[in-house]
Amino acid sequence: MSGFLGIPLLVMTDSYKTSHSFMIPEAKKCIAYGEFRKGYDGDKEDTRILFFGIRYIIENYIAIKWTKKDVELSEKFFATHNAGFTPFPFPKDLFIKFIEENDGYFPIKIEALPEGTSCHVHTPVYQITAENEYAPLVTYLETLITMIWYPTTVATLSRRARDLAEDAYQKTVVDAGNTTVDSRLHDFGFRGCTCIEQSIIGGVAHLLNFCGTDTMSAAYYAQFTLNNGKPIATSVPATEHSVMIAHKTEREIKKFGTGVFACVLDSFDYVNALEKILPSIAKQKVEAGGFMVLRPDSGDPVDSVLKGLRAADKLFGSDVNGKGYKVLRRAGVLQGDGVSIKAIKDILDATREAGYSAQNVTFGMGGGLLQKLNRDTMSFATKLCHITYADGHKRDIMKTPKSDSEKISLPGEFVVKKNKQGVPIVYPKESFPENDPDNLLKVVYDHGKICEWEDFDTIKKRVANEWPVLPRTYDNISPELKVKIDKTIKEIISSQQ
């Protein structure tokens, strides 16, 4: 049996999806697409998104054989799913047909942007095509595919944090390309996830931008499933409050004197630990050749970091770099409590104003990275955009709610191509030849066949190359598509009279 936790894939969708095949007009072809309609957290001054995660969905939920056993199990469920515990309609005959004729693989084609593509809102990130008798099934798997919102939103959030770190490095670090920027944001989110699967999907999305993580489920999956065994993520030994309070005194922490070692210091009294406990162990760490990371875990984030920087400066010493900022000797501060995009910016600004280089500070983000976001954070949606009726009449369609213009969708079948500035622009497909090699929307699934995926290193390079050159905002709708939008809206208005 296909499925997850013993649940057949047939019911891996919203209830109403199973009834739609009886409602959609008889058609030869139906096309739907997915897009993000807003910048991160509704930001209108930066509408870039970092697309990622389609491979996980395709490999684990789409490119899976359905079986007649799945249909039998689902039929038992549908028999009592309707209101009043009556039979709920579902397209059993269509399911049996493609199980027999297409070896059990769902009969649609999915095109998607390459993993790690940087683009703006309203760019179709995937396009679904269903034809002939299977045309009504075009959005049956929408619920699953729409879940691309999660890794893309995490990747975008993480990248925006990277922007803040790189900007601070540019201002305060002599070698702005210093590789330590790769470890400025550490994933602390595993324990806050709703399930193991979320930790993997979200944790891997973060690793597009940074190498630091404590979410080993994601690090392992990225290394051995996505990157041919080549490592991409690291962490360091560190204490937690349970370790600190297990000792009679914090001074008894003796392990890991060499290498990088992080120590939480506010189990009892952060200021006392900085002023009285830290001096007694700093000498030991320095003599052992270690690099000590001081970790506050409560209080005001900005104040806690500044106190840690000043205490470390007093104990370990510092050197002033060529840009006039202090670089601590063999010590740093890690803020892992209450971290958000705003907190990162505030801390980095305060660090600079206090005369310290950004390379002295690292951040750990838990719930803020993997949990405090949802589908509305960047307003993701999948919508039908084209139908070819049974009589051959073609119609481009769109959603145009008068009460909410931000929920407008795009009409037609699409091609996404980069302009001379490297910005992905959305065009009507009929403007270009079939199988245009420059079309960024590539086939990733076609009636059971899947593409050859790029390794994770290749995707990370794409992110590093594309994101920085992308303008923060851009009108990415081509003139040709704007003409089609205007024409389609006029047709809709006329039909509603």
Question: What number of helices (H) and strands (E) belong to the chain?
Answer: 16, 18
Strands (E), 63-206: 109-112, 118-120, 126-131, 185-187
User: Phi then psi for 414, rounded to 5 degrees?
Assistant: -120, 155
Residues 6+ apart with CB under 8 A from 392: 28
**SS3 label, residue 340:** coil
Q: What span, in angstroms and rounded, lies between the C-alpha atoms of 147 and 7? A: 18
**Is 375 annotated as a binding-site member?**
yes
For residue 337, say whether it is annotated as part of any ligand binding site. Answer: yes
> Whole-angstrom Cα distance, residue 466 to residue 51?
12
* Number of Cα atoms under 13 Å in the Cβ half of residue 232: 30
Strands 331-335 and 290-295: parallel
**241 in a labelled binding site:** yes
CB 476 within 8 A of CB 123: yes
Burial class for 278, CB neighbours closer than 10 Å (0-12, 13-18, 19+): buried
Q: Can you say how many angstroms the Cα of residue 436 is from the centroid of all Cα atoms in its chain?
A: 28
Query: 281 Cβ partners below 8 Å, 6+ apart?
Result: 251, 253
Q: Is 355 annotated as a binding residue?
A: no
Pair 100, 433: CB distance under 8 Å: no
212 labeled part of a ligand binding site = no
Q: Tell me whether residue 167 is annotated as binding.
A: no
Question: Is 376 marked as binding a ligand?
Answer: no
Which residues fall within 8 angstroms of residue 64, CB to CB, at 6 or more apart? Answer: 2, 3, 9, 105
Contact 404, 376 (CB under 8 A): no
The DSSP bridge partners found for residue 356 are 326
Find all residues with CB under 8 Å of 223, minimum gap 6, and list them: 229, 230, 231, 232, 233, 456
Please indicate if the annotation marks 120 as binding a ligand: no
Residue 412, marked binder: no
43 is in an annotated binding site: no
Binding positions for diphosphate are 191, 241, 295
Name the binding residues: 191, 214, 241, 295-297, 336-337, 367, 375
Q: Which parts are annotated binding residues for beta-nicotinamide D-ribonucleotide?
A: 214, 295-297, 336-337, 367, 375
